[in-house]
Structure 1
Amino acid sequence: MISNLQTMNGVKSVKEIDVSGKRVLIRVDFNVPIDSQGNISDDRRIRSALSTINYCIDHNACSIILVSHLGNPKGGYEERYSLRHIQKRLERMLEKRVEFIEDFEASHDEMASCSLERVFLLENIRFHAGEKKNDPEFSKKLADICDVYVNDAFGTSHRKHASTYGITEFVDTKVAGFLMMREIEAFLKALEKPIRPIALVVGGSKISSKITLLTSIMPKIDKLIVGGAMSNTFLQALGYDMKHSMFEQDFVETARSVMEEAKKHNVKFYLPVDGVITDSVENPIDVRVTPVQDVLDEFSFVDIGPATLKLFSEAIELSNTIIWNGPMGIYEIDRFSKGTYKLASAIGASYAYTIVGGGDTADAVEKAGEKDNFSFISTGGGASLELLEGKILPGFEKLDRKEQ
């Protein structure tokens, strides 16, 4: 039976079509962190799109139109979310002039003509109400300025928006960019052709956001390692009093069923045995390490402890494929980041095929200085999560397929 991953891997890539003399619209993901002064603090997503953009330039596309969103504006123009912040960095990376288009509808005629070697960057596509609504009229307006549509925005490929989904109804040639194909190939290797044993490391705050992942992936893995605040719900289900620690009372029974499911599939299940606790997350005065059964009144878990790190590291050391999604604690606060960073070092030092599921985990790996020691770091948090859950992402759904 062909899996959903194999189905997505069967779409055509930009390399399999002729872009020469064509107007190419590339949906990129330039949703990068920008500080209050408009400075980009992490340009990894821009760098990830360069191979597709440069391929189209090198193969004589007559014009290249880059479409992206930035942040989540609530209605119309917001200066802090303007893609003007991206323009100069992109020009330096491409070593080429990039023309910024404030209103693509007003510039329709100019962009619709074939202008050899021109690269256009459209203003934040989410400033248009039709984008998130997947409005057919808006989708058609985007389609009217191109001959070829290339989706290379893996980070938004789980969204049915006009620029990631609706536009495909109105363009004859629609293919995936190199980043999209790299993402699918990486997860295909980890899930469809893994070198066993395969370990899934899951963290973050809520079990409710990862129930589908935990239940759907269970038959494919050998070990499940759970940390972060979501582990508190599992510990509560085992009868431990987590006191003021964050946990989801409504999902305690769900946690029990997940553990039963793991037992049914002979999956080794790992939970924290100790943790870092504090009297206050915002203004910590008392921070200490304690076993999970001895959480003090008025205290809460904020990171995994040294014994847990040793337990998790040993499980990781004996794994040949490792997928990691979710930090082990509140890594954004220095005092509570050790567990996440040391786990990143342990995974990075392993000889396994290692893949990070984007979002906060990718950020933590970067901050830990371990990004070069991982086999693959995904650019999509929500997209990689849905992909791990076994879903076909909308961004792949309507692209042209390779001939069988």
Structure 2
Amino acid sequence: MAYRTLDGVAVAGKRVLLRADLNVPLRDGRITDLTRLERLSPTIVELSGKGAKVIVLSHFDRPQGKRVESMSLRPVAAALGEVLGRAIGFVDDCVGEPVARAVAAMRNGDVLVLENTRFYAGEEANDVALATLIATHGEMFVNDAFSAAHRAHATTEGIARLLPAYAGRLMQAELDALNAALGTPARPVGAIVGGSKVSTKLDLLTNLITKVDLLVIGGAMANTFLAAQGAELGKSLQEPALHQTARDIMAAAAAHDCQILLPVDFVVSETFAANPATQVVPAQAVPANAMALDVGPATTDAIIQAIKRLKTLIWNGPLGAFETPPFEAATMRLAAAVAAATDSGMISVGGGGDTVAALKQAGIIERMTYVSSAGGAFLEWMEGKALPGVAVLTA
């Protein structure tokens, strides 16, 4: 995909509307994770350093088109200033005279954050009138919010049709990483997909079997595939209504020369709690009073051996209930193996909320080629869907 980047773009003295994702986690009024602000900072630093007047736009939470003070971006703007190590401005609106005055007072290199765009119902409706009002404050548009690019909103897609529009450096990094993983990957390419339900990842699985050479299925969704083949799963979570769908996916994978790797053993327990009594059993024979909560050591060994022959790997979803010990064991072992393979030259791309949390727990995020914090946008890209916020940036 050819999309417009900031390479060679003159920004000095220009009013640049920068769509960011400042939707950071808050607890008791305090930001608990600065990752999104830290990943945004290179684009702001570059634009500001080149003399642009940087006007930051973002949504925050779900105010349903109304002003909700607890969802104001004011504290996030203050935190962004701390991350950047400089003073930045804030206006408690994103349209109107107060914004116009603040923008007019900006000097080259200044940074200004505007209030939550979702305080206006027209944001999520991709209202042309709202997009036009906001666009009047800028001369060019830069989208650095890949995590919101799967939504056709006024500040992700609408403004890009009104002003010269470019991808920011974080957006560029995401797109380059995903293209390396699924667009034109070095082969063999594999994918690890975990999660609780096949129903939530049907589009993902259907797309991947046409793109990858190896598909590892873990998490509770693997139970549905095994049960569809007649395995006894005890009390394990699975979806009986999707047994035929699972068989269809396996048949389609075979037709596309995509190997599906399913668990051969499980770590099971009679209760889902921290550190209960457990046992390792064959994947085809979970006791009637037990449930599978992690893949077993033989399965983990098989996955690790399989990824050693890969040149590219995409990871979305843990292998087990990693938040609850001891059911993180397989995911942690696999993470270490993925990090080692990456050190040896494999391209590794991970993404999705649980995946990022698991990789962070394993301490390997910095060792992977790229880890996306984009959530839904990452998943929709892997599903092969067009993202409105990206499509509008294509050259």
Q: TM-score range by the shorter chain?
A: over 0.9
Alignment counterpart, residue 390 of structure 2, candidates 386, 396, 401: 396
- Displacement after TM superposition at 1:74 (Å): 4.4
CA contact (8 A) 2:124 2:154 kept: yes
Alignment partner, residue 212 of structure 1: 203
Q: Are 1:47 and 2:38 counterparts?
A: yes
CA contact (8 A) 2:275 2:325 kept: no
What's the CA shift string for 1:281-311, capped at 9, x where partnerless?
Answer: 3577443332222222243222222121111
Q: State the SS of the aligned residue for 1:261.
A: helix
CA distance in structure 2 between the aligned counterparts of 1:17 and 1:346, rounded to whole angstroms: 41
- Displacement after TM superposition at 1:69 (Å): 2.1
CA distance in structure 1 between the aligned counterparts of 2:133 and 2:242, rounded to whole angstroms: 45
Instruction: Report percent identity of matched pairs.
Output: 38
CA contact (8 A) 1:112 1:144 kept: no
Alignment partner, residue 122 of structure 2: 130
Q: Are 1:82 and 2:75 counterparts?
A: no
CA contact (8 A) 2:268 2:286 kept: yes
- Displacement after TM superposition at 1:154 (Å): 0.6
CA contact (8 A) 1:154 1:379 kept: no
Go from structure 1 to structure 2 and tell me whether the alpha carbon gap of 1:203 and 1:250 turns closer, same or farther (over 3 Å shift): same
Please tell me the residue identity of whatever aligns with 1:241.
E
Go from structure 1 to structure 2 and tell me whether the alpha carbon gap of 1:280 and 1:142 turns closer, same or farther (over 3 Å shift): farther
Q: Are 1:33 and 2:51 counterparts?
A: no
Alignment partner, residue 380 of structure 2: 386
Q: TM-score, normalised by structure 2?
A: 0.92
What's the CA shift string for 1:346-371, capped at 9, x where partnerless?
Answer: 11111311111232212211121011
CA distance in structure 2 between the aligned counterparts of 1:42 and 1:155, rounded to whole angstroms: 16
CA contact (8 A) 2:233 2:288 kept: no
Unaligned runs of 5+ in 1: 1-5
CA contact (8 A) 2:275 2:326 kept: no
- Displacement after TM superposition at 1:313 (Å): 1.0
Go from structure 1 to structure 2 and tell me whether the alpha carbon gap of 1:78 and 1:343 turns closer, same or farther (over 3 Å shift): farther
Alignment partner, residue 364 of structure 1: 358
What's the CA shift string for 1:44-100, capped at 9, x where partnerless?
Answer: 221111111111101111x21111223334453445533233223311221221212
Cα RMSD, aligned residues only: 2.0
Q: Are 1:95 and 2:49 counterparts?
A: no
Unaligned runs of 5+ in 2: none
Alignment partner, residue 175 of structure 2: 184
Alignment counterpart, residue 330 of structure 2, candidates 339, 347, 368: 339
CA contact (8 A) 2:64 2:121 kept: no
Q: Are 1:168 and 2:160 counterparts?
A: yes
Please tell me the residue identity of whatever aligns with 2:281.
T
- Displacement after TM superposition at 1:340 (Å): 1.8
- Displacement after TM superposition at 1:257 (Å): 0.8
Alignment partner, residue 374 of structure 1: 368
Please tell me the residue identity of whatever aligns with 1:197.
P
CA distance in structure 1 between the aligned counterparts of 2:337 and 2:151, rounded to whole angstroms: 34
Q: TM-score, normalised by structure 1?
A: 0.90
Alignment partner, residue 249 of structure 1: 240
Alignment counterpart, residue 112 of structure 2, candidates 113, 120, 143: 120
Equivalent pairs counted in the alignment come to 390
Alignment counterpart, residue 72 of structure 1, candidates 39, 62, 65: 62
- Displacement after TM superposition at 1:269 (Å): 1.3
